[in-house]
Amino acid sequence: MLKHYYALPPLANRAVLVAWLALSPVAWAMAGTSNTQPNATSLQQSTRKTVTGTVTDANGEPLVGVSVRSKGGKGGTITDIDGHFSMQVGDGETIEISYVGYATQTLTANTNMPMTIVLEEDKKLLNEVVVTALGIKREAKALTYNVQDLKGSEVTRVRDANFVNALAGKIAGVTINQSSSGVGGSSRVVMRGTKSLFGENNALYVLDGIPMQGLRTKQSDNFYESVEVADGDGISNINPDDIESMSVLTGASAAALYGNRGANGVILITTKKGAVGRPKVSFSNSTTFTRPFVTPQFQNTYGRKDGEFASWGEKMERPSSYNPLDFFNTGFNVSNSVALSTGSETSQTHVSVGAVNAGGIVPNNRYNRYNFTFRNSWDVIKDVLELDFSLLYVKQNTRNGIGQGMYYNPLVPTYLFPPSDDINRYAVYEMYNPVRNFKTQNWPYGNLGLGMQNPFWIVNRNKFETNRERFIASFSARWNITSWLNILGRARMDNAYTDFERKLYASTDGLFSKPAGNWMTQDDKNTSTYLDFLINIDKQFANDEIRLLANIGGSYFDERYTSKTFEGNLARVPNFFHPSNMSPTESNTAHANLHTQTQSFYAKVEVGYRNFLFADATGRIDFFSTLLGTSSNNVFYPSVGASVLLTEVLPLPKNIFSLWKIRGSYAQVGNPPSPYLTREAVALSNGTPKSGAFTPASHLKPEMTKAFELGMDLRLFDNKLNIAATYYNSNTYNQLFRYKLPPSSGYEYAFENAGKVNNWGVELSATYNQKLGPVDWSANLVYSLNRNEIKELLPEYVTDRTTNTTVKAPTEFEVSSAESYKMILRKGGTMSDIYASHLKQDYQGNILASGGVQKDENDFVKVGSAAPRYNISLRNSFAWKGIELGFMFDARVGGVVVSATQALMDQFGVSKQTADARDAGGVRVNNGLLNAEQYYGVAAGGRTGLLAHYTYSATNVRLREMSISYDLPTAWFANKLKVNLSLTGHNLLMIYNRAPFDPELTANTGTYYQGFDYFMPPSQRSMGFGVKVNF
């Protein structure tokens, strides 16, 4: 059979090689020795020696940023990303090792061999510091809400081209759906359930304290056009090797200081800085190979009838060798990164260059991304004025990424191709046409009403390509006025330029293109400017029994989006894609311009009493440009919270209870409406201005979520067992509805605030650390449960504000539809309810089969919700003498999905179950057997078939990831290098799954069009290896 293979790019691609050559001289020069003549000072320094070592925690994990200082001299440094340090000391000198949350150690420096230092948690203080909203660092014990942390190594251990996918199963309260378009696609990230009926439900990403803009991109929202699930989240452009740590704020209270932008939760990303000491160069490589993971089951025993494409012919003498899965490539993903970190006591620099070169499993699908990062931290006036500047540049190219759908999708003809035919005859996808005097598509079957073409033609002559360049420049300045008062100012400019091009070559099916071909280009520009200031106070009173922390600030956020689209048929010269060759009567242009701005002021006050009782309150007011012209153009968001350390109050046994905290909080956050809804829209009809489609909504209010949470943090047995449990409940009001108006109003529709959506749930995470002899064992359990319910929609009647008359409001809203699949919002239902068509039945529930089964055209039944009932995952890691083994099992329980792919495969007779039915004599309906072709080919199968009968449980259990790594002995490299080798795997084993595709995949990262499969590319199993080298 025909197979495809990719030639891997060189391991060190050109971009990384250039960076390596560029950075190496810098590193050697900075690490070199001076040629000047020795003087008294240098002679004195020559008596000093170098002490090196590694600092870890009790579990053997390296600690980053640990302070190592000489007690008698002036020297000092901090540990790097691997916990290493190196500094000059005198003979017999004492060094002090300190780190927040750990007991300080004082040791005599050993210059004869590397030191291994293990820091123990300070049982008295337990001052673990986490990053919270606006980049503010707080002690974890003082927080009144749930914050979950991840180290940067957690997202690079088992890599993905989009590192967000590596978070799946690791954070309680977070559901992540991976893009079906393969390498480079976006991810759908929802925290604590979907809240907004018609607004945004994805989480906000914050990079180094500053919110990231979301990039506007096109995605599949119907079953016709198959387009890439593009990286509209914006964060997937980031090089994961630049990430130091991540904090996840799932609740409204934690994210309240972000106002409307934090309504759906926040992922805070802290990137790496330079380190004090000699230059350090690191290199990392990850190479993985991918194959389809979950696929449909095909038959190869029945062929087609003469003159037909569907495989309802006689049984073949011998099984066919045709396997549709042979169409897929072995995909690959090669990631390379080089970084330089260096600095003095006053200035630290981090520079990195990264490259991702990937090929998908669908032929001719490519993804290439190149990153350059520069960051400098400068202590201009020691302990008084600190500056930080960073620059990020991204260049990215994506080719032929598909989500799902009928058009331009090579999987439609590949899956439905009759096994009795030889697809190799069409691998030569174009042949010379003497009539047209150029090569045209080689495909005799036509489109069969499905937009079907030669699959090899689609991947080579229906070309989709996206190019992006992105520049992000950030600057911050901190002025420490006193030991308890400082002012922070930050600024960021983020510009992204995206060019999309589609080329449909001559002889593409006439449904999509005229005979000479079709061409489309789209140029998008996303720009944002962010400015903020923050006054920070940290003061203690009453003999240090009361601690006050306060933050007062404001921000300015301006976003602009412009888009220019040009589309049309080629006029004269086939396959000459140029504006001069466009048909003037069959081409058109479109322009889009959006501009929004939010100005905000906010404050937070936190009070701690005797290190056991904490209370905080926040307030934020946002002024929205999208609400100009209304009476509610500004919104105030408050939050309050409190926590108590019971271990400091109750006489609990210290050998059991290391920490026991209870906490509670309440917050309000919200979402503004889309831009320009409050203004009169003017449209042109044959050059004549007329009223727009909707009436200006000057009465609009922002959507508002009111939420509370109660929780507990428990650390037991000297911190071996850590448990965090949270219950939350939120209600989202003022949902923005669109409803039709009577023609007499002069408008088509209007907008109204109404409705209420409730989400409640439980988050639980538990970590256990234990030494098993020489082996360090760590286990982590994560559990999330969410229940979603639409409490209210529109009232029975709404006011038509153009005529001051009442209009009967709709009682339900169809938010996505694809022939026999719908998502419908109804009171008492959920935001993920799926409805599907089904067979006609009598009053006793028997299928009406007289003369053949019949579809009930007038009734769609609710088949379930696409949302899982709960998620649970278990991670384990074992470390022994430089070897570390880690693996994670993950389960999503509950929910349903529907597969139109399976329905069409049944209609065309190519699925395994149609062959099984023919072998069994037919399909059992009621108490009898019905002819398989009649059942599947006419009623049950097909895109307009009975998707209620193609509904499957979305429950799935898998071995999500596994890795094994080994640190080579540094003695092999004269203690100059640290080398780590690893083997990794992702989606290694599907333990339980009833659906014919992976239920976790999505073709759309929005709220709707979920749980639906229409020739969606399969999820992928990946296996590979990695190398990390630190100089």
774-830 pLDDT tens trace: 999 999 999 999 999 999 998 888 877 777 778 788 888 988 888 788 999 999 999
Q: Classify 902 as helix, strand or coil.
A: helix
pLDDT band at 562 (very low <50, low <70, confident <90, very high): very high
Token pair 């404001």 is at which residue?
A: 554
Residue 14: what pLDDT? 41
Measure Cα distances from 195 to 781, 827, 862 in Å: 26, 14, 21
Asked whether residue 258 carries a pLDDT value surpassing 60, the answer given is: yes
Phi/psi-derived region of residue 629, left when phi > 0, alpha when psi is between -120 and 50, beta in every other case: left
pTM for this entry = 0.84
Asked whether residue 47 carries a pLDDT value surpassing 80, the answer given is: no
Quick check: 496 and 215 in contact, CB under 8 A?
A: yes
Kindly report the length of the chain: 1031
More confident residue, 523 or 745: 523
Strand 812-818 and strand 821-826: pairing? antiparallel
β-strand partners of 879: 776, 884
More confident residue, 234 or 448: 448
> Where are the CATH 2.40.170.20 domain residues in the chain?
129-583+596-832+867-895+954-1023
Measure Cα distances from 571 to 261, 337, 517, 783 in Å: 47, 46, 8, 59
Q: Which of 608, 622, 713, 711 minimizes the C-alpha distance to 673? A: 622
* CA 127 – CA 140 distance, rounded (Å): 7
Quick check: 999 and 993 in contact, CB under 8 A?
A: yes
Q: Which of 879, 994, 871, 1015 minimizes the C-alpha distance to 408? A: 1015
* Residue 13: other Cβ atoms inside 10 A: 16
Tell me the mean pLDDT in the region 574-597: 91
β-strand partners of 769: 778
Helix (H) and strand (E) counts for the chain?
9, 53
Q: Which of 860, 717, 876 minimizes the C-alpha distance to 782? A: 876
Token pair 């449980």 is at which residue?
A: 953
Residue 614: what pLDDT? 94
Asked whether residue 684 carries a pLDDT value surpassing 70, the answer given is: no
pLDDT averaged over the chain?
85
Q: Classify 385 as helix, strand or coil.
A: strand
Residue 112: what pLDDT? 83
β-strand partners of 944: none
> Where are the CATH 2.60.40.1120 domain residues in the chain?
43-122
Domain 129-583+596-832+867-895+954-1023 has CATH 3.90.180.10: no
In single-letter form, the type of residue at position 799 comes to: T
* CA 60 – CA 64 distance, rounded (Å): 12
Asked whether residue 11 carries a pLDDT value surpassing 60, the answer given is: no
**Per-residue model confidence as pLDDT tens digits over 619-663:** 999 888 887 777 777 889 899 999 999 998 999 998 899 999 999
More confident residue, 629 or 232: 629
**Per-residue model confidence as pLDDT tens digits over 166-223:** 888 889 989 888 877 767 777 888 899 999 888 888 888 888 888 887 765 555 555 5
Token pair 């000092």 is at which residue?
A: 76
Cα 619 → chain centroid: 29
- Candidate from 65-69, 620-624, 688-692 with smallest mean pLDDT: 688-692
pLDDT band at 228 (very low <50, low <70, confident <90, very high): low
**Per-residue model confidence as pLDDT tens digits over 259-274:** 777 778 888 888 999 8
Residue 17: what pLDDT? 39
* CA 3 – CA 1 distance, rounded (Å): 6
Asked whether residue 22 carries a pLDDT value surpassing 50, the answer given is: no
Residue 1000: what pLDDT? 92
Q: Which of 169, 218, 160, 159 minimizes the C-alpha distance to 189? A: 169
Q: Classify 782 as helix, strand or coil.
A: strand
Residue 223: what pLDDT? 54
Quick check: 972 and 980 in contact, CB under 8 A?
A: no
Asked whether residue 4 carries a pLDDT value surpassing 80, the answer given is: no
Q: Give domain 43-122's CATH architecture.
A: Sandwich (2.60)
* CA 665 – CA 677 distance, rounded (Å): 34
- Candidate from 135-149, 274-288, 360-374, 906-920 with smallest mean pLDDT: 135-149
Tokens of 521: 């280009």
Following DSSP, what letter does each residue of 977-1004 receive, concatenated? -EEEEEEEEEEEEEEEE-SSS-TT-BS-
In single-letter form, the type of residue at position 304 comes to: R
β-strand partners of 765: 724, 782
In single-letter form, the type of residue at position 1015 comes to: F
**Per-residue model confidence as pLDDT tens digits over 893-934:** 999 999 999 999 999 999 999 999 999 999 888 777 888 998
